[in-house]
A = this chain, B = another copy of it.
Amino acid sequence: MTQVFVIGVAVVDFVFAVGALPTRAAKHRAKQAEIVGGGCAANAAVAIARLGGQALLGARLGDDALGDIIVADLEFEGVDTALVQRFAAARSSFSSIYVDDQGERQIMNFRGSGLGLATDWIASAPPVDAVLVDTRWSEGAVAGLQRAREQGVPGIVDAEAPMDFEVLTAASHVAFSRDGLLSLCGLETSTAAGPQLESALRQAGQRLATWVCVTDGALGCFYLDAGRFVHEPVLPITVRDTLAAGDVWHGAFALALGEGQGEGDAVRFANAAAALKCQTFGGRKGSPDRAAVMTFLKENQQCS
């Protein structure tokens, strides 16, 4: 079984379905709400487990009630939590998330407090087939990527702003979010258009000397393949909830690389997994299994 070590954030998400995102400092009523596990790394780990990989999660939590809820849900999902670190008198991270009628999500995250900074438990982790990190905790991310390099396996960064340049250069593969890429290049995130994305990605690829791609929601993924700018669009789906879709993408991409798939195939696999996730409300609860992804890819291959 392909093993992926995922290092980063695990939280509880309080997810509210709203008609439209609120704008006034008033009282608003949610149509529906769910309490679900979340966080970039934890969501990616769940996606990997559901897709048939073995996910080893390295996350830091408080020794509090929320931490218990987070670990219990990860174990229910089949994620290996042996390396999850709990800290006394620390507070676990949690988020409030509003999902509107178009499936767009707005996230408000509390990062937790009192979480330890030692990285020795990362350096001594068992051998794996790939390492995936998010950019929340730079020292941990760098330690994980160095471990990947030592073992000669892919080291992937889910690159969201704010991020340290040191993390990006330690990776073999950098998958930017749109905002992450634009902020690296000093561009305004809300106004940048398509051509700017290509130029920003080329700039990032040259500066980092690693494989780079950018995921851009409904537009899919753009990556550089031996100097060629490639667009891998998203297959047609009905979007209900984009929450955790990016994390599912990164988990699926890391798993595919760990299995030895090429980058182009891994991007298609990740696009399919993330698209299927978007069809279901409730964040990572909508993460698909392997059979669903393979069926979806096959059906859409026959159509093209």
CA–CA, A22 and B104, complex, Å: 14
Cα(A109)–Cα(B28), bound, Å: 6
Contact A26 B110, beta carbon cutoff 8 Å: no
Instruction: Confirm or deny: A190 has a beta carbon within 8 angstroms of a beta carbon on chain B.
Output: yes
Please choose the segment from A13-21, A258-266, A288-296 that sits at the chain B interface, where 4 or more of its residues have CB less than 8 A away.
A13-21
Instruction: Say how many copies of this protein the assembly contains.
Output: 2
A250 lies within 8 A of chain B by Cβ: no
Contact B190 A30 (CB under 8 A): no
Query: How many residues does chain A have at the interface if contact means C-beta atoms less than 8 Å apart?
Result: 31
In the complex, chain B residues whose CB is within 8 Å of the CB of A32: 110
Q: Which of A27, A28, A98, A105 has the most CB of B within 10 A?
A: A27
* Option from B21, B25, B27 in Cβ contact (under 8 Å) with A109: B27
Q: Is the CB of A25 within 8 A of B108?
A: no
A32, B22: Cα distance in complex, Å: 20
Let me know if B106 and A33 touch, CB within 8 A.
no
In whole angstroms, how far apart are the Cα atoms of A109 and B24 in the complex? 14
Q: How far apart are the CA atoms of A28 and B33 in the complex, in Å?
A: 19
Proximity string of chain A (206-239) to chain B, C-beta cutoff 8 Å, 1 when within and 0 when not: 0000000000000000000000000000000000
Residues of A within 8 A of B (CB): 14, 16, 18, 21-30, 32-33, 35, 94, 96, 98, 100, 104-111, 160, 179, 190
